[in-house]
Structure 1
Amino acid sequence: MKVGAMEYTHLGDTGLEVSQLCLGCMNFGTEQPWMVHDRDQARAVIERALDLGINFFDTANVYSHGESESILGDVLADADRDRAELVVATKVYGEMHEGPNGQGLSRKHVLDQAEASLERLGTDYIDLYQIHRWDEHTPIEETLSALDRLVEDGKVRYVGASTMPAWRFMKALHEADVDNYERFVSMQCEYNLVDRHEEANVLPLCADQEIGVIPWSPLAGGFLTGKYDRDGDPDSGRAATDEFMEKRFTDENWAVVEELREIADANDATPAQVALAWLLHKEVVDAPIVGPRTIDHLEDNVGALAVDLTDAEIDRLEAPVTPVWNREIGDV
Structure 2
Amino acid sequence: MKMTPLGRTGMSVSEICLGTMTWGEQNTEAEGHEQMDYALDQGVNFIDTAEMYSTVPIRAETQGRTEEIIGTWIAGSGRRDDIILATKMTGDGISWVRDGQGYTRSSVMEAVDGSLRRLKTDYIDLYQLHWPNRGSYHFRKHWAFDASQQEKSKATDDIHETLLGLDDAVKAGKIRAVGLSNESAWGTMQFVRLAEQHNLPRVASIQNEYNLICRLFDTDLAEVAHHEDVGLLAFSPLAAGILSGKYQGGAAPDGSRRSIQADLGGRWGPATEAATAAYLDVAAKHGLDPSQMAIAFCLTRPFMTSAIIGATKMDQLKICIGAKDLTLTDAVMEDIATVRRAHPMPI
| TM-score calculated relative to the size of structure 1 | 0.86
- Residue 242 of structure 1 corresponds to 264
- Residue 123 of structure 1 corresponds to 121
Aligned-pair CA distance for 1:293: 1.2
- Residue 71 of structure 1 corresponds to 69
Q: Which has the higher contact order (CA 8 A, sep 6+)?
A: 1
* The one of 282, 286, 292 aligned to 1:266: 286
Q: Report matched runs for 1:49-60 at 5 Å.
A: 49-60=39-50
Question: Residue type of the partner of 1:20?
Answer: E
* The one of 313, 320, 324 aligned to 2:339: 320
Q: Report matched runs for 1:21-36 at 5 Å.
A: 21-30=16-25, 35-36=26-27
Distance 1:131 1:184 in 2: 10
Distance 1:98 1:316 in 2: 46
Distance 1:287 1:160 in 2: 13
Distance 2:246 2:88 in 1: 30
- Residue 3 of structure 1 corresponds to none
Distance 1:7 1:29 in 2: 29
Name the CA shift for 1:314/1:62 in 2 (closer, same or farther; >3 Å). Answer: same
Question: Residue type of the partner of 1:7?
Answer: K
* Greater Cα shift, 253-262 or 125-134: 253-262
Question: SS at the partner of 1:296?
Answer: helix
Equivalent pairs counted in the alignment come to 312
Distance 1:19 1:243 in 2: 28
| TM-score calculated relative to the size of structure 2 | 0.82
Question: Residue type of the partner of 1:56?
Answer: F
* The one of 80, 87, 91 aligned to 1:90: 87
Aligned-pair CA distance for 1:319: 2.5
Residue 202, structure 1, aligned to residue 221, structure 2: yes
Aligned-pair CA distance for 1:205: 1.1
- Residue 7 of structure 2 corresponds to 12
Aligned-pair CA distance for 1:200: 3.2
* 8 A Cα contact 2:126 2:179, kept in partner: yes
Tell me, which stretches of 5 or more residues in structure 2 are unaligned? Answer: 55-62, 135-153
Q: Deviations over 1:12-34 (max 9, x none)?
A: 2332111111001111123xxxx
Question: Residue type of the partner of 2:218?
Answer: E
* The one of 43, 46, 50 aligned to 2:33: 43
Name the CA shift for 1:183/1:259 in 2 (closer, same or farther; >3 Å). Answer: same
Q: CA RMSD in A?
A: 2.5
Q: Report matched runs for 1:69-218 at 5 Å.
A: 69-81=67-79, 83-94=80-91, 98=96, 102-136=100-134, 139-218=158-237
* 8 A Cα contact 1:198 1:325, kept in partner: no
Name the CA shift for 1:80/1:124 in 2 (closer, same or farther; >3 Å). Answer: closer
- Residue 314 of structure 2 corresponds to 295
* 8 A Cα contact 1:24 1:59, kept in partner: yes
Question: Residue type of the partner of 2:18?
Answer: L
Question: SS at the partner of 2:206?
Answer: strand
* 8 A Cα contact 1:201 1:325, kept in partner: no
Q: Deviations over 1:69-124 (max 9, x none)?
A: 0001111222253x333100001124565598542011121110100100100000
Question: How many percent identity over aligned positions?
Answer: 35
Name the CA shift for 1:217/1:100 in 2 (closer, same or farther; >3 Å). Answer: closer
Question: SS at the partner of 2:209?
Answer: coil
Name the CA shift for 1:320/1:113 in 2 (closer, same or farther; >3 Å). Answer: same
Aligned-pair CA distance for 1:125: 0.2
Question: Residue type of the partner of 1:263?
Answer: A
- Residue 238 of structure 2 corresponds to 219
Distance 2:314 2:97 in 1: 39
Distance 1:76 1:261 in 2: 42
- Residue 324 of structure 2 corresponds to 305
